[in-house]
């Protein structure tokens, strides 16, 4: 149905965004590295993804930062944010 479809798109979008941010932050990033990656990540995803990326980062900045610093997988972070189903 439409709702599940919308959620699925959001899940893959969230995962894709966080994979990009994680790649930019590097292995074992500190908070400054994660915040720099959050700023750069949305721009690097291109115009189409920039807006949803910025909304995601703005809404969940603390959880994303914590997840990336803990070394959590992007998919697991999106699940913890309740964007993806476990």
Q: What is the mean pLDDT of residues 52-74?
A: 94
Q: Which CATH superfamily is domain 2-81 in?
A: Saposin-like (1.10.225.10)
Cα gap 50→17, rounded to integer Å: 9
For the entire predicted model, the pTM comes to: 0.84
Measured CA distances, 45 to 1, 4, 80 (Å): 28, 24, 22
Helices and strands: H and E segment counts in the chain? 4, 0
| Cα torsion angle, 75, 12, 18, 24, sign | positive
Asked whether 37 and 57 are in contact (CB, 8 A), the reply is: no
Tens of pLDDT, residue by residue over 9-57, are: 689 999 999 999 999 999 889 989 999 999 899 999 888 888 999 999 9
Domain positions in the chain: 2-81
What pLDDT does residue 24 have? 95
């Amino acid at each position: 149905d439409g709702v599940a479809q919308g959620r699925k798109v959001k899940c893959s979008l969230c995962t894709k965004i966080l994979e990009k941010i994680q790649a930019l932050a590097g292995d074992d990033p500190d908070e400054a590295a994660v915040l720099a990656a959050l700023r750069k990540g949305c721009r690097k995803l291109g115009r189409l993804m920039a807006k949803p990326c910025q909304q995601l980062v703005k809404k969940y900045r603390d959880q994303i930062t914590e997840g990336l610093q803990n070394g959590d997988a992007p998919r697991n972070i999106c699940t913890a944010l309740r964007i993806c189903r476990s």
